[in-house]
Amino acid sequence: VEGELSSCPKCGAGGGFHVAFRRVERKFEAVLMCPSCRFRFTVGEFLIPDGEPRPYDPSIDSGP
Q: Which residues contact 47 (CB under 8 A, 6 or more apart)?
A: 26, 27
- Using CB atoms within 10 Å of the CB of residue 25, give its burial: 0 to 12 exposed, 13 to 18 middle, 19+ buried: exposed
pLDDT tens string 24-38: 888 888 899 999 999
Pairing of strands 40-47, 18-24: unpaired
Q: How confident is the model at residue 2, as a pLDDT?
A: 66
Q: How confident is the model at residue 1, as a pLDDT?
A: 59
Q: How confident is the model at residue 50, as a pLDDT?
A: 78
**Which of 44, 17, 12, 21 is CA-nearest to residue 33?**
17
Q: Enter the pTM of the model.
A: 0.60
